Amino acid sequence: MVDKSTIQNVAKLAKLEFREDEIDMIVKKLDNVLSYVKMLDEVNVDNVDITYNPIDLKNAFREDNVGKSLDREKVLQNAPDKEMGCFKVPKVLD
């Protein structure tokens, strides 16, 4: 079972803020999802063959060929901030 403290801890780790009523709603919804997943544990799959992929798909990616690179200055010309030939972005980790 998921409780408020678990949701608050995960929210803190994800740097999210929720109101009390939102936390209550998240607890209820997550409990519903986990209850459904728990039902899957009851399905008997003893005589079911392992299925890796039921559809016979092949890799549809193209060959990775080296091509002409873009000009660095042209790429950076519309960048809001740049430093030493690179895009400069705000810090996201402490």
**85 belongs to a structural domain:** no
Confirm whether 33 is domain-assigned.
yes
Q: Is there a domain that residue 36 lies in?
A: yes
Please report the pLDDT score of residue 13 as a whole number.
Answer: 96
Helices (H), 1-94: 4-13, 20-40, 72-76
The CATH number of residue 26's host domain is 1.10.20
Residue 8 falls within a domain, yes or no?
Answer: yes
Q: What's the pLDDT score for residue 73? A: 92
Residue 11's domain spans which residues? 4-40
Would you call 53 helix, strand, or coil by DSSP? coil
Whole-model pTM: value is 0.48
pLDDT at 57: 76
What is the pLDDT, as a whole number, of residue 8?
Answer: 95
Q: What is the mean pLDDT of each run of 10 residues along the chain (94 residues)?
A: 91 95 95 92 87 76 89 94 93 84
The Cα–Cα gap between 42 and 49 comes to 17
Q: How many domains does the chain have?
A: 1
pLDDT for residue 11: 94
The answer to whether residue 67 is domain-embedded is no
